[in-house]
Amino acid sequence: MRPGRLAGLVAALAALWLAMMVAGTGKLDHALLRLLYSLDRPELRGFALVMSALGQWQVTVVLGLGVTAWLLYRRKIRSALLLLAIILIGRGLVELQKIAIHRLRPEDTAQLVPVQSPAFPSGHAANSMILLLALAVIAAPPKHRRSAVLGALFGSFLIGISRPMLGVHWPSDVAGGWAFGALWVLSMLGLAERVGGSASQEEREK
């Protein structure tokens, strides 16, 4: 991606993240939460439970470490280290945001799964975006990268949208999580390009 286009996309994602943090929990959030909430719709609740389980940290961490190990086995050392840094540092930044912003979770809907941490941003949305998008860009073969990115965005969408369906997140928490996750991955990839350790450069050397 061209530097100017990348910078514009990162700025747009940062603006979206900020808007979701500042303007969340308002009337629109309440209306969207009521629309998505699945308590009285068993088929949607079952779907949301499955997608939410796929976004649990145990699943994402194991998947990320597994692909990192595979890249190391293929001797793509820089790609493996970049992937690991994106995933682990990104997860830490998500938790720091939760602590610093300390947004309360919705109280006008029964929570259909147990939760403990503050609401913003949604960890499921942010971490699934970080993991899946990083995997698509770093680990997918170049000829399949576009399809992999689309699949990553769709997968993160399904995982993120399950959270307001279960009554544990405001829709703005989820949108903010998606925005931050994509912002973080693109920023790290742009930095890797500038310092000469990107996955694409490594592929050219192989």
Can you tell me the distance from the alpha carbon of 10 to that of 131, in angstroms, rounded to the nearest whole number? 17
pLDDT score for 199: 45
Can you tell me the distance from the alpha carbon of 139 to that of 52, in angstroms, rounded to the nearest whole number? 24
What ranges do the domains of the chain cover? 3-205
Nearest Cα residue to 176 out of 191, 190, 163: 163
Angle value at C-alpha 19, between 160 and 21, nearest 5 degrees: 65
CA distances to 34, 51, 139, 169, 202 from 173, in Å? 15, 17, 28, 6, 36
Residue 24 is classified by DSSP as T
CB contact at 8 A, 112 and 164:
no
Which residues neighbour 97 within 8 Å (Cβ) at sequence distance 6 or greater?
A: 120, 121, 180
Length of the chain: 206
Low-confidence ranges of the chain (pLDDT < 50): 197-201, 203-206
Q: Which residue has the tokens 């830490």?
A: 92
pLDDT score for 1: 67
pLDDT score for 74: 94
pLDDT score for 108: 81
